[in-house]
């Protein structure tokens, strides 16, 4: 685990050090990058408001719990925490929706619980598959994306199956 | 599509709450969900700003370009049949370096540029070529080295070690990318016959 503690500071130090060595205007570069990303973050808000509404109502009504309960025999066999199920459904479809669900999972189970860790790994190691495929082929004249989506979804399935295994392997957490 | 999905979820929630007697909770969530969305964006905005700043320094100091050069030989093994000093391959390498550095907004335009370059070089007509499929598949998997967004959310939720998930994320990202590319490759071979 030492690596993960030191990796981020090391990268930051390296980037700043290299920037100084290359005589980059650090203040100007940093603020420009920060400004761009702040705009992006703010742009997420309207969509997130809708997603939080839908996800929030779904959870508050108890329908979400009923759904995960229904699917829990399947996840139990795979050793996958059932709290993370909603995330696997939303992740390939909507990035901000998945963020909203992740926030809930972390708040309810604790970020360092088994479910909290698996949800974090799942979120960090996958992408918004449907959106990506649509955007990438939408930019070209290609109409038949052929097996792009099945292959990408095979990758997502791998991530779902491996995330709980990886958490057990590296963080040694078997009990919930 | 996401609009339909959410409308359906909302209708279902209301129907379910009437049956399960949770109308008060649902009513409450309608009122508070907007504030939750703002709170979530505030959490994300801070860490996104910091990483955007750091990565802009990396870009201006030539680090991103150096990474691009380093990756080209490996990418040649995945994207085959492209001509020497192909413009598409260069664009793909830039796209992947931006992905690795977690520059989501920079990665997408670069990836689209790579897609267009592939279209020019391979003139596929209406059917995607194997290289185009692999590029789209590669971008639908996460290649981010530092899961900054997730770590920010973990920190806000009170994690003792927000970045402890890093080795897991790297392993799972790499494995899922490998599987996705392998499936694309196998299906490509199958389609040729």
Return the residue in B150, B151, B188, B190 with the most chain A beta carbons within 10 A, the one to mutate for interface testing: B150
DSSP state of B101: T
Whether B15 is in a domain gets the answer no
Min Cα separation A101/chain B (Å): 11
Instruction: Tell me the ipTM for this assembly.
Output: 0.79
Q: Give the nearest partner residue to B140 out of A33, A49, A132, using CB atoms.
A: A132
Model pLDDT, residue B43: 77
A175: confidence class by pLDDT, cuts 50, 70, 90? very low
Q: What is the DSSP letter of B129?
A: P
Residue of chain B whose alpha carbon sits nearest to that of A153: B180
- Residue A20 confidence (pLDDT): 95
In this predicted structure, what is the pLDDT of residue A146? Answer: 86
Query: What angle (nearest 5°) sits at the alpha carbon of residue A121, between those of residues A119 and B8?
Result: 40
Q: Based on the structure, what is the number of domains in chain B?
A: 1
Other Cβ atoms less than 10 A from the Cβ of A36: the count is 19
Q: Going residue by residue through chain B, which has 193 residues, state the pLDDT in tens, using 9 for 90 and above.
A: 567 777 888 999 999 999 999 999 999 999 998 888 888 888 778 877 888 888 889 889 988 788 878 888 889 899 988 887 788 888 898 888 888 877 666 788 788 888 988 998 988 788 899 999 999 999 998 888 888 889 989 999 999 988 889 999 999 999 999 999 999 999 888 776 5
CB contact under 8 A, B172 and A26: no
Q: Residues A42, B45: contact at Cβ < 8 Å?
A: yes
State the nearest Cα–Cα gap between B68 and chain A, in angstroms: 16
Q: Is residue A91 within 8 Å of A124, Cβ to Cβ?
A: no
Residue A130 to residue A121: CA distance in whole angstroms: 20
Q: What is the mean pLDDT of residues A24-44?
A: 89
| B94 touches B68 (CB < 8 A) | yes
- Whether B93 maps to a domain, the answer reads yes
Q: Percentage of residues in chain A with pLDDT exceeding 70?
A: 95
Could you tell me which of B144, B47, B173, B44 has the C-alpha nearest to residue A102? B44
Measured between CB atoms, does B31 come within 8 Å of chain A? no
Inter-chain residue contact A44 with B56, CB threshold 8 Å: no
Best of A148, A153, A167, A168 to disrupt the B interface by mutation (most B CBs within 10 Å)? A148
Is A121 in contact with B172 (Cβ distance < 8 A)?
yes
* Chain B residue nearest residue A134, CA to CA: B136
In degrees and rounded to multiples of 5, residue B43 shows phi and psi of: -60, -45
Give pLDDT, residue B49.
86
Residue B24, in any domain of the structure: no
Tell me whether residues B173 and A159 touch, CB distance under 8 A: yes
And the tokens for B60?
């201006």
Neighbour-count burial of A143, counting CB atoms closer than 10 A to its CB (0-12 exposed, 13-18 middle, 19+ buried): exposed
- The proportion of chain A whose per-residue pLDDT surpasses 90, expressed as a percent, equals 32
Contact check, Cβ <8 Å, A11/B146: yes
* Average pLDDT value over all residues in chain A: 85
Cα B33–Cα B35–Cα B40 angle in degrees, nearest 5: 95
Q: Do residues B70 and A63 touch, judged by C-beta distance below 8 A?
A: no
Interface test with A, best of B180, B186, B190 (most A CBs within 10 A): B180
Query: pLDDT tens for residues A83-134?
Result: 898 888 888 877 888 888 899 999 999 999 999 999 999 999 998 888 788 8
Domain that holds residue B138: 35-192
The highest-confidence range among A23-32, A34-43, A48-57, by mean pLDDT, is: A23-32
Size of interface A-B (CB pairs under 8 A): 375
Are B99 and B85 in contact by the 8 Å Cβ rule? The answer is: no
- Any bridge partners for residue A126, and if so which? B141
Residue spans of the domains in chain A: they are: 46-171
pLDDT of residue A29: 94
User: Could you tell me if residue B155 is inside a domain?
Assistant: yes
The answer to whether B176 faces chain A, any CB pair under 8 Å, is yes
The Cα–Cα gap between B110 and B106 comes to 6
Give the pLDDT of residue B116.
Answer: 87
Minimal CA separation from A27 to chain B, in Å: 9
Q: Higher model confidence: residue B144 or residue A162?
A: A162
Best mutation target among A10, A134, A140, A168 (most B Cβ atoms within 10 Å) is A140
Quick check: A62 and B16 CB within 8 A? yes
pLDDT of residue B137: 93
- Phi and psi at A39, nearest 5°, equal -60, -45
**Is residue A3 predicted with pLDDT exceeding 70?**
no
Greatest Cα pair distance, chain A, in angstroms, is: 59
Residue B16 covered by a domain: no
């Amino acid at each position: 685990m030492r690596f993960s503690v030191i990796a981020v500071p090391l990268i930051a130090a390296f980037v700043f050090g290299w920037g100084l060595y290359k005589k980059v205007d650090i203040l100007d570069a940093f603020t420009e990058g920060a400004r761009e990303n702040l705009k992006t973050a703010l742009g997420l808000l309207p969509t997130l408001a809708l997603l939080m509404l839908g996800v929030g109502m779904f959870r508050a009504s108890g329908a979400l719990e009923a759904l995960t309960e229904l699917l829990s025999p399947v996840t139990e066999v795979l050793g996958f925490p059932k709290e993370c199920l909603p995330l696997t459904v939303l992740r390939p479809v909507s990035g901000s929706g998945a963020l909203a669900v992740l926030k809930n999972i972390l708040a309810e189970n604790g970020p360092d619980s088994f479910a909290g860790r698996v949800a974090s790994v799942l979120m960090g190691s996958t992408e918004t598959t449907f959106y990506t495929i649509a955007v990438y082929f939408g930019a070209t004249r290609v109409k038949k994306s052929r097996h792009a989506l099945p292959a990408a979804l095979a990758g997502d399935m791998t991530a779902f199956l491996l995330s709980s295994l990886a958490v057990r392997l590296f963080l040694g957490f078997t009990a919930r | 599509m996401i609009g339909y999905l959410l409308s359906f979820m909302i209708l279902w929630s209301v129907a379910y709450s009437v049956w399960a007697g949770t109308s008060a909770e649902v009513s409450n969530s309608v009122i508070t969900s907007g504030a939750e969305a703002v709170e979530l964006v505030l959490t994300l905005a801070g860490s996104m700003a910091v990483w955007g700043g750091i990565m802009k320094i990396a870009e201006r100091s030539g680090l991103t370009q150096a990474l691009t050069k380093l990756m080209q030989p490996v990418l040649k093994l995945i994207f085959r049949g492209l001509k020497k000093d192909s413009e598409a391959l260069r664009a793909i390498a830039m796209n992947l370096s931006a992905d690795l550095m977690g520059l989501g907004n920079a990665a997408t335009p670069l990836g689209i540029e790579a897609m267009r370059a592939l279209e020019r070089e391979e003139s596929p007509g209406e059917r995607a070529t194997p290289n185009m499929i692999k590029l789209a598949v590669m971008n639908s998997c996460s290649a981010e080295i530092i899961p900054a967004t997730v770590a920010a959310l973990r920190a806000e939720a009170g994690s003792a070690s927000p970045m402890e998930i890093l080795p897991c994320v790297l392993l799972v990202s790499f494995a899922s990318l490998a599987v996705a590319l392998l499936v694309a490759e196998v299906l490509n071979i199958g389609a040729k016959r």
